[in-house]
């Protein structure tokens, strides 16, 4: 993907078109239909359909949530190793970093990571968006879920 737009704060959010813009709206539409059908007809079939629609929505939601949780665990591990390599003087303070801070810091280039990490720790910055906005030299993360 040589002609792809470089990743920045403005465009780093990842959407999977078939999941976010096709599957989820269809599942939501199905759920709305079964709520309507239950209100309109009130039979066992509509109850069954609604229960199944809710179950499928929950499966879709938790499938995504579980994948993102595993991804965040891996990012935390990678960033701790990266920080230990790039900022050995911060070793004792690395445990002060929260998971959210580590996830946000992953976008900082190697050159700016030590200073930004010190700033995050000293100023107790916890908002992921605010941390990402401080990054001057963006390091793309193309391998995320």
* Residue 21 belongs to some domain of the structure: yes
The percent of residues in the chain predicted with pLDDT above 70, rounded, is: 96
* Tens-place pLDDT, residues 17-73: 899 999 999 999 999 999 999 999 999 999 999 999 999 999 999 999 999 899 999
pLDDT above 90 (res 111): yes
* Tokens of residue 67, six digits: 């994948």
Domain range for 102: 17-134
* Residue 107 belongs to some domain of the structure: yes
* Residue 11 belongs to some domain of the structure: no
Contacts of 106 (CB under 8 A, 6+ apart): 75, 78, 79, 139, 141
* Residue 88 belongs to some domain of the structure: yes
Identify the pLDDT of residue 121: 93
| CA–CA distance, 49 with 42 (Å, rounded to integer) | 11
* Residue 141 belongs to some domain of the structure: no
Domains identified in the chain, total number = 1
* Residue 5 belongs to some domain of the structure: no
* Residue 102 belongs to some domain of the structure: yes
Identify the pLDDT of residue 1: 47
Identify the pLDDT of residue 15: 82
* Residue 144 belongs to some domain of the structure: no
Identify the pLDDT of residue 55: 97
Identify the pLDDT of residue 12: 80
Identify the pLDDT of residue 145: 67
Identify the pLDDT of residue 48: 96
Which of 94, 82, 84, 81 minimizes the C-alpha distance to 120? Answer: 94
């Amino acid at each position: 993907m040589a002609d792809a737009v470089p990743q920045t704060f403005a465009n780093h959010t990842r959407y999977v078109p078939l999941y976010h813009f096709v599957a989820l709206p269809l599942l939501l539409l199905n759920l709305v239909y079964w709520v309507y059908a239950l209100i309109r007809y009130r039979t066992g079939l509509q109850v069954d359909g609604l229960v199944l629609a809710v179950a499928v929505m929950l499966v879709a939601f938790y499938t995504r949530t579980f994948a993102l949780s595993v991804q965040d665990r891996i990012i935390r591990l990678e960033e701790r190793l990266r920080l230990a390599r790039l900022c050995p003087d911060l070793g004792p303070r690395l445990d002060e970093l929260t998971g959210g801070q580590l996830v946000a810091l992953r976008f900082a280039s190697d050159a700016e990571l030590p200073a930004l990490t010190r700033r995050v720790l000293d100023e107790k910055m916890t908002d992921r968006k605010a941390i990402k906005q401080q990054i001057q030299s963006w390091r793309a993360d193309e391998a995320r879920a």
